[in-house]
Structure 1
Amino acid sequence: MKKHDQDFMKQQNRLTVFEIIKHNQPISRASIAKQTGMSPTTVSRIVGELAERGYLLESEQVSVGLGRRSTLLEMVDASVLSVGVELDRHQMIVGIVDIQGNVVCSGKYPRSAEESPDATLKLIGEKINQLTLLHEIDGNRVIGIGVGLPGIVDNDAGVVVFSVQLGWKNVRLAERLKEITGYEVVVDNELKVKALAEHLKGATKGSSRTALLGFGNGVGSAFIFEGEIYRGKTNSAGEIGHTTVDPNGMMCDCGKAGCLQTYINISSLLSEANKIRPMRTIEELFEARRAGERWACYLIERALMYIAITVNNVVCMYNPDSVILSVELADKYPEVYEEIEELCMSRFVWEPLRESFSIFRSELQEQGVMIGSGLLSQIKLFELE
């Protein structure tokens, strides 16, 4: 047990030094020791290991005081690459990201809603091969794959427990994708990895308590507290789309009546709209609203009201300093953001908390899940090395 504890501490120390250099570069060994409380000998040993693996670059010595000089350390961004994958009902995005979360290359590919898990995973393998060949990427620098998808995920076991949108249940995704590609694989909920990406690289970089709320084909949330994803007991924290707002309300895909998402998500809005006239896309519904059709105005304004209510409920429960709104179609219809913010601050957010947080728009947008998945892969697999 003592050997295990020592190994674990060494692993954690190495990860801590790695993250400090990554986010504070250029930085000296002395500064790392001061921030971490580690001895200069321990820091030098870890830095030596990282440099030997090609992760670090030492700059020329610079003066830091009277007669004292110090070498500054920086990350070699291309020293570590990972694959980030977003899986959705009708498409997937596959990309390769570097150690800073910069996208080296990516592609968006259609998939059938009825496609089997095995067919999808084989397609992911094919697209990774295509990207690495097309962009002449050394596969030896790719340390693993991260996959983000909608639904309940056992992230420790790499199993998709249940995904309504994909129609998957108990899929051993990490195990099967590793068999296909040969890479280590981590799997997580899409909003959790998107929140991680926004925290590390996007809208809320530096925030200590971030809540991300996602509204589109589904409704969900994710929380980053002190740099860590808040997961709950079964990694299902944040499934606010299935909180009940009306026990006598509309039926949800999950089998319950009156779930929050039945008042907000795209399929529910289109289902309601089709009671008035045939409508295939959410864009048609927004255009009907812009044309002043009262029923369309009602449906969208009701959805925006429930989004504002959701913001209030999350702020009251978790007291974040930052709330990110990730709303599909907001690029085409930017008035959505302004309306939600106005509803939040004028009507629905509890007055004592209105000044306690800032509202942000998703900065990474459709690349957020892919980037977050790739970064999570790097974090997890670096811990295991």
Structure 2
Amino acid sequence: MTEIAQSLEISRTSAENAMTSLGEIGLVSDAAVANGRGAGRPARRFSFERRSGFVIGVDIGVASVRVVVADLTGQVVRYESFDGVADSRGGAEKLVVVIDDVRSTLTASTIPTSRVRAIGVSLPGIVDSSGRVTTSVVIPEWSGVDIGAQLASVFGCRVSVDNGVRLAAVAEHHLGVAQLVDDLLYLSVGNRIAMGLILDGRPRRGIHNAAGDIGRLAFPGLVTETGQLTWRTGEDAEKVFSLARAGDSSAVSELGSFIDQLARGIATLVLTVDPAMIVIGGGLSDAHEQLLDPLRQALDTHIGLPFSVPLVKARLGAEAASHGALVFAFRRHAADIYGLESMPVPPITPLRVDATLLPVRTQDDSTFSG
């Protein structure tokens, strides 16, 4: 107690009152004290109750649903990946699948629902600031639905919802490859092309919550009206890249054209925003020598100015959006999590094995999914 009072430069009485308040909301508890020999008031020590509450991040997609659970210090204590909502009929059934996945994760973690203090949700689509899905071409049944309110009524806590690619950008900025920059362009290149933008350290939503929905406009000829990538020489990207590696001239030509058009679109975005870094995520980011290296060269050619913007592979891979949803929940609901409005987001610590990020893959994942 004395150390707390001294470090905060407040009276011991004020420190005692504050610690009592924190104890009442379950954030701190009395810690064991070794018997002292000196005279005077006995020492009183405290410990932070990191597992008195939990925060959840959920990434919802047609191919997978990923759930990540963290304690109050930001330490991830559970990560689960489930089949996506593609096979579920109707919007209500899809929502039930997500609810069951979150409940299963809590059960496996032996965490009661009552200890969940906030949930962040990532999903494909344009989402307004209240959590209502404005439109989603990937999960059209949820267009116009307040997914946040639906989940809040089930789990009895605050829920915030945002676009998945935007939250993937948040994750790369908070705990990924872009931690040292505050202006970055995150581009997800997988089955679709989508963008997330971080400016001055904050995700850019835009007045209509549509910032980043640029696939059809910035990359004409590469995508369909729904933003889906199209290929001529193979049924999907994996096949085209495989044929190109084998020397198929048609596939090599298509891949070269794809990279050039992709670089042209990125150059337009770079010269509009002037970011400090470009982060490439999505399934195609794994194709280093076939995509990232020639993309860097083509980008420098299209920008044509005496500077080069670093273009790097995303660090968090398929886990980015779920961890971004976790950061989002900590940021939006500090008062519900800690009882304090101004608490910063803690440093999120993912599950790790041998000091590397634990890769969690499911059967629906592949190198070229996205």
TM-score normalised by length of structure 1: 0.72
**Alpha-carbon distance change, 57 to 243 in structure 1, aligned in 2, over 3 angstroms:** farther
Task: Please point out which of 261, 264, 270 is paired with 1:309.
Answer: 264
Kept in 2, the 8 Å contact 1:101–1:371? The answer is no
Question: What is the aligned partner in structure 2 of residue 97 from structure 1?
Answer: 70
Question: What is the aligned partner in structure 1 of residue 187 from structure 2?
Answer: 213
Task: Please point out which of 287, 290, 299 is paired with 1:335.
Answer: 290
Match of 2:224, as an amino acid?
C
**1:57, 1:318 → 2: CA distance?**
48
Cα drift, residue 351 of structure 1? 1.6
Cα drift, residue 111 of structure 1? 2.7
TM-score normalised by length of structure 2: 0.74
> Structure 1: which 5+ runs fail to align?
1-27, 34-38, 60-72, 255-260, 274-278
Establish whether residue 378 from structure 1 lines up as the match of residue 330 from structure 2: yes
Cα drift, residue 369 of structure 1? 0.3
**Alpha-carbon distance change, 79 to 200 in structure 1, aligned in 2, over 3 angstroms:** farther
Cα root mean square deviation, aligned = 3.4
Higher relative contact order (CA 8 A, sep 6+): 2
**1:118, 1:148 → 2: CA distance?**
17
Match of 1:175, as an amino acid?
A
Kept in 1, the 8 Å contact 2:216–2:223? The answer is no
Question: What is the aligned partner in structure 2 of residue 294 from structure 1?
Answer: 249
**Alpha-carbon distance change, 204 to 223 in structure 1, aligned in 2, over 3 angstroms:** same
Question: What is the aligned partner in structure 2 of residue 121 from structure 1?
Answer: 95
> Structure 2: which 5+ runs fail to align?
32-45, 340-370
Kept in 2, the 8 Å contact 1:322–1:359? The answer is yes
**1:361, 1:103 → 2: CA distance?**
26
Match of 1:252, as an amino acid?
T
Indicate the percent of aligned positions where both proteins have the same amino acid.
21
**2:18, 2:311 → 1: CA distance?**
39
Cα drift, residue 78 of structure 1? 4.0
**1:197, 1:220 → 2: CA distance?**
16
**1:290, 1:86 → 2: CA distance?**
33
Question: What is the aligned partner in structure 2 of residue 325 from structure 1?
Answer: 280
Find the residue that maps to 2:320 and give its secondary structure: helix
**Alpha-carbon distance change, 312 to 49 in structure 1, aligned in 2, over 3 angstroms:** farther
Cα drift, residue 56 of structure 1? 6.6
Cα drift, residue 201 of structure 1? 0.9
Question: What is the aligned partner in structure 2 of residue 368 from structure 1?
Answer: 320
Encode CA deviations 1:58-90: one digit per residue, 9 max, x unaligned: 99xxxxxxxxxxxxx997654542221112233
Question: What is the aligned partner in structure 2 of residue 241 from structure 1?
Answer: 215
Question: What is the aligned partner in structure 2 of residue 227 from structure 1?
Answer: 201
**Alpha-carbon distance change, 251 to 308 in structure 1, aligned in 2, over 3 angstroms:** closer
**1:74, 1:214 → 2: CA distance?**
42
Establish whether residue 162 from structure 1 lines up as the match of residue 135 from structure 2: yes
The equivalences for 1:15-54 within 5 A come to 53-54=25-26
Kept in 1, the 8 Å contact 2:280–2:311? The answer is yes
**1:333, 1:206 → 2: CA distance?**
23
Question: What is the aligned partner in structure 2 of residue 253 from structure 1?
Answer: 225
Match of 2:191, as an amino acid?
N
**Alpha-carbon distance change, 351 to 332 in structure 1, aligned in 2, over 3 angstroms:** closer
